Amino acid sequence: MSGVARRARAERAAPDVPRRAERRRGRGRPRPHGRQREGHPAPRDRAAPRLHGRRGAAAVSVAACRAPVDLQVLLDYWLADLPPGDEERVEEHLLGCPACSGRMADLAALAAGIRRLGSQGLVRAVVTADFLRRLVDEGARVREYRLAPGGSVQCTVEPQDDLVVTRLAADLAGIGRLDLVSCDAEGREQGRLEDIPVAAAAREVVLVERIDRIRALPESVQRVRLVAREAEGDRLLGEYTFHHTPPRSR
């Protein structure tokens, strides 16, 4: 399965999808813990083609497409990963094909749902740096921690935080399959996100934690490991230690 297709797995990764609607306004800029995020220009937005075969909630019968667009191509189109010429050809096809535009609408709805869960901290998910930047640009209050391999950090969560994000630096060059392993203070494995997506040029893994889980934690030590899955077994790329303290009562 390709890296693009893997992004559609909600518990493993929230897809970095282009926004097709207006951004939410009116919320203040986040005040992250530790390093303050620098401002970045928003990624390119482009209008979605008008989709056929959708009239409110009622299903509309449409003719089958004689040359349907491959699902992988639709994913690449939605993620803005196609070369300009291919993107124009796909968009032209969608404008004239009710069947394929209907599939595109279903894919867009799925991506929007996954994105909404990730942006609300309701799933534990590996995301791209661009996805996180987009949430910050839209006003999400992000508490962010950056760790190098072998590093540790004192961490907490405050009532005003929308998201808790950890950025785990690692040498990811040439990695075929990467797992993120959660461990207790003694290093015993408690859970694993398998086969998380890794961009070719990535130098870190960006993890959005489930904020409800973080809020419920007592004072504790948690460890996270990045491991490359190889024929000989797991190869440790980095271990990261979190010393969690609940917020003080106001």
DSSP 139: T
Quick check: pTM over 0.85? no
**The Cα angle at residue 87 between residues 80 and 15, in degrees rounded to 5:** 20
Residue 179: both structure tokens together: 């797992």
Q: Average pLDDT of 179-190? A: 95
Taking the C-alpha atoms of residue 4 and residue 8, their distance in angstroms, rounded to an integer, is 7
- Residue whose C-alpha is closest to residue 33's, from 123, 201, 165, 193: 165
5-26 pLDDT tens trace? 333 333 333 434 333 333 333 3
DSSP 201: T
Q: Is 47 exposed, middle or buried (0-12, 13-18, 19+ CB in 10 A)?
A: exposed
Residue 185: both structure tokens together: 């203070």
Per-residue confidence (pLDDT) for residue 42, from 0 to 100: 34
Average pLDDT, whole number, for the chain?
Answer: 76
Taking the C-alpha atoms of residue 126 and residue 198, their distance in angstroms, rounded to an integer, is 9
126-164 pLDDT tens trace? 888 888 888 888 888 899 999 999 999 999 999 999 889
Domains and CATH numbers, the chain: 3-119 (no CATH), 141-244 (2.60.40.4070)
Q: Where are the alpha helices (DSSP H) in 97-241?
A: 98-119, 129-137, 211-216
The residue whose two tokens read 């409110």 is 56
Per-residue confidence (pLDDT) for residue 244, from 0 to 100: 97
Taking the C-alpha atoms of residue 16 and residue 31, their distance in angstroms, rounded to an integer, is 23
Per-residue confidence (pLDDT) for residue 138, from 0 to 100: 80
